[in-house]
Amino acid sequence: MKRRISLLSFITLFSILFIITGCSSNGDVTADQVKENNDPDDHRIIGTTVAIVEIMDALELDLIGVPTTYKDLPERYDGLPDVGNAKSPDMETVMSLQPKEVMSVTTIQHDTEEFFEQADVNARYLNLESIDDMYEDILRIGEDYDRTEEAEVIVQSFEDKVEEIAEKVKDKESPEVLILLGVPGSYLIGTDESYIGDLVTKTGGVNVIKGEDVDFVSSNTEHLQQTNPDIILRAAHGMPDEVVEMFDEEFKENDIWKHFDAVKNGEVYDLEETLFGTIGNLAAEEALDVLYEMFYE
């Protein structure tokens, strides 16, 4: 029996994994110092996720605050104050920075909307749930912040990559693909509605999980074996090394996996988290190239 489950509710229990206590990526500049440099013409934007920060960098837009993260952020934002985890921002710091706009993502809107409303902070939620949605929002930001040309360059570059991939795969047999998303201790199955599922489709792959209207579902291995995919993709989320170890143990100890053709043929791949997140990011072009090699070379 298969049970639908929201990715957001699945990872909520593990959100603490993303907060690196005492480890600030950019703690050199204080909120007071940022306020002292408050030019009335500044856009005064805070980015609350790594993907948003990378998009703003590509659009050549300055920020006044960035998320607390263990990941490397663009050099443009070195020394900016951290505003905490995306799902639980440090509202004291956010308010002290006096932003004109705080950028978050739609997948956590219901978690953060109340915080921003109570603080009378203008929040903008970017839709990064699919590639097309992401690029639509990039174009909107370009229009709103006089970066139309930069936004169009970003979008055109990706569209060129999609056309390139489509041309390369048009005469090839489409592989059937199973997507596993893991966090420490458990995993879910990715559908076409997921970001990685979108990448798989754009690379000519066929997702073995069909007809779902959510991004991830929970399913037992007996059901999955009936799909018998050509390729299994394992995406680690949160603590990649620990999740890969979990997957390795699962595939070794659960005998049912040895009956999958993908396992027999060595077509099981671990996806790099920086390229294959749970929501869209500017690594999409490179991700398509990686999937192409896995599927056809």
* Full-model pTM: 0.82
Q: How confident is the model at residue 15 (pLDDT cuts 50, 70, 90)?
A: very low
199 has pLDDT over 70: yes
User: What would you report as the CA-atom Rg of the chain, rounded to the nearest whole angstrom?
Assistant: 20
Q: For the segment 22-64, what is each residue's pLDDT rounded down to a tens digit?
A: 344 444 445 555 445 445 457 999 999 999 999 999 999 999 9
Tokens of 9: 């509710």
Least confident segment among 71-85, 161-175, 237-251: 237-251
Q: How confident is the model at residue 183 (pLDDT cuts 50, 70, 90)?
A: confident
Quote the pLDDT of residue 32.
54
Estimate to the nearest angstrom the gap between the alpha carbon of 239 and the chain centroid.
14
CA–CA distance, 141 with 57 (Å, rounded to integer)? 12
CA–CA distance, 271 with 137 (Å, rounded to integer)? 26
Quote the pLDDT of residue 35.
47
Nearest to 195 by CA among 17, 67, 7: 7
Tokens of 13: 């229990």
Which of the pair, 221 or 162, is modelled with greater confidence?
Answer: 162
CA–CA distance, 178 with 229 (Å, rounded to integer)? 6
Domains belonging to the chain, first-starting first, are 3-126 (3.40.50.1980), 173-296 (3.40.50.1980)
Average pLDDT, the chain: 87
Quote the pLDDT of residue 30.
52
Q: For the segment 239-285, what is each residue's pLDDT rounded down to a tens digit?
A: 778 889 999 999 999 999 999 999 999 999 999 988 998 899 999 99
